[in-house]
């Protein structure tokens, strides 16, 4: 399966369980892989989503890959701002 075909959940500001349920829905739909992406302050929430999935719902869920990076965004007054990013690839 190419990386572009891997189902993706983008983690943002919503409550933690919203993202957990989105992941559960994807995994129960037959997906064997799941990509969780987040940036900035949402990175810690993305890590929490993975922990909840592994501890409560899928004991066999493994972290296949973690990619860290930085994105250049335009902040206030058109100044460039660097924002950290994370991509966590999960496999069953």
User: Among 68, 69, 66, 71, which residue's Cα sits nearest to residue 82?
Assistant: 71
Cβ-contact 71, 83 below 8 angstroms: yes
pTM, 2 dp: 0.89
Residues 6+ apart with CB under 8 A from 43: 84, 85, 86
| Integer Cα distance of 15 and 45 in angstroms | 9
CA distance 35 to 11: 11
Joined together, the tokens standing for residue 59 give: 């004991």
| pLDDT tens profile 38-56 | 999 999 999 999 999 999 9
The residue ranges of the chain whose pLDDT is under 50 are 1, 3
d(CA 55, CA 82): 33
Q: State which H helix or E strand residue 9 sits in.
A: strand 8-10
- The domain spans of the chain are 3-91
Looking at domain 3-91, its CATH architecture is 2-Layer Sandwich (3.30)
CB of 39 within 8 A of CB of 13?
A: no
């Amino acid at each position: 399966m190419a990386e572009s075909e891997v189902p993706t959940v983008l983690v943002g500001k919503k409550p933690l369980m919203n993202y957990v349920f989105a992941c559960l829905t994807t995994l129960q739909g037959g997906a064997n892989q799941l990509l969780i992406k987040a940036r900035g302050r949402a990175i810690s929430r993305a890590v929490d989503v993975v922990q909840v999935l592994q501890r409560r719902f899928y004991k066999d869920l493994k972290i296949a890959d973690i990619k860290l990076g930085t994105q250049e965004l335009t902040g206030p007054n058109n100044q460039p701002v660097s924002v950290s990013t994370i991509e966590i690839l999960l496999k069953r």
